[in-house]
Amino acid sequence: MLQMKKSPMMSGRRDVFTVESDFDDWVTGDKFVGGGDAGPGAVAVEADIADGFVDMETAALDNDETWLPTTQEVFLFDDFANKPLVGEALLYYEEVTADTCNLFAGFMNALDTTPFQDDGNGPKADFCGFGIYRIGSTAGIVAGNLVAADTFVWNTIVDNVGDAQLTQALKLSDVGRGNNLAGHKVDADSGTFYRLHMECNPVCMKSALIMNADFDFWINDLHVSHENMDMTIANFTEMHFGVAIHAGDGQILHAYVDYLSGSQIRILTP
């Protein structure tokens, strides 16, 4: 019998689990679900627009939130080797009052339940996940990284419930831990497209209960940050992948998402 080889393009494709959408069409509760303080009507596909977009909108209320996560928590910091996680979002946001947008893109457990702290204090204080975010107020100081002299920039965050939360403000003067920008600044400006890319790669088991993992972040194809973190396996919980926004004042905030894509090497063990 003639044996045909698999196409190199298709080889191993089904070993990767992916949830993604270009939002050319979208029904909430299919791959991604829209919701928030103002209800599921706060997320809608933009009609007749090139590429396809979904519009996330808050109410005109301070600290109002809207989110767009995967419908189920289907991603996990896995305690077996070689199960990396990859997420990417292409989006921009529009705000009425300058520098009031709070936005998170990435992996988070219970992303559909109060993903942000109020009053510019950043993503929730204790969660399982990692991602890229910006805050709309320097009134909140996140893990000591943000000071009044900062301009409004993107930040990276890594957290595992109960473990230390690592944040990195990608500001002009910061050449500290894990920052590969060497003096460059990554602004988070209203009306500007951003491709936010993040990866988690389990490196090794340090002990029976501790996994060592590398986290890398890209913004518009710039490798902006690298973190290495010891993660307590007992704290692992399943995560959503998606985007959340949080209004920093009493004005309506919009985020326009072109696509979302979350992937992980398939977990083949029961």
pLDDT tens readout for residues 52-62: 789 999 999 98
Instruction: Say if CB 226 and CB 170 are below 8 A apart.
Output: no
Give the torsion through C-alpha atoms of 88, 189, 227, 148, to 10 deg. Answer: -160
Instruction: Say if CB 44 and CB 55 are below 8 A apart.
Output: yes
What are the residue boundaries of the structural domains of the chain, listed by start?
A: 34-265
Average pLDDT (235-264) is 94
> DSSP string of 171-190?
-TT---TTB-STT---B--T
The CATH number of 34-265 is 2.60.120
pLDDT of residue 119: 85
Residue 176 to residue 224: CA distance in whole angstroms:
12
Give CA angle at 102 (153, 237), nearest 5°: 105
Residues found in the chain: 270
Residue 153 to residue 108: CA distance in whole angstroms:
21
Q: Which DSSP helix (H) or strand (E) runs through 227?
A: strand 222-232
Q: Tens digits of per-residue pLDDT, 104-133?
A: 999 999 999 999 999 888 899 999 999 999
Residue that the structure tokens 């003067």 belong to? 173
Higher per-residue pLDDT: 33 or 182: 33
Is the pLDDT at 172 greater than 50? The verdict is no
Q: Tens digits of per-residue pLDDT, 18-44?
A: 999 999 888 877 899 999 987 666 888
Higher per-residue pLDDT: 33 or 140: 33
Residue 203 to residue 228: CA distance in whole angstroms:
9
Residue that the structure tokens 């990276």 belong to? 156
Band of pLDDT at residue 176, cut at 50, 70 and 90: very low
Nearest Cα to Cα of residue 217 among 268, 161, 151, 169: 169
Residue 42 to residue 60: CA distance in whole angstroms:
12
Give the CB-side neighbour count of residue 60, counting CA atoms within 13 A. 3
Of 63-67, 159-163, 190-194, 239-243, least confident by mean pLDDT is 159-163
Nearest Cα to Cα of residue 166 among 209, 105, 123, 117: 123
Which 3 state secondary structure label does DSSP give 15?
A: helix
Residue 155 to residue 179: CA distance in whole angstroms:
11
pLDDT of residue 221: 85
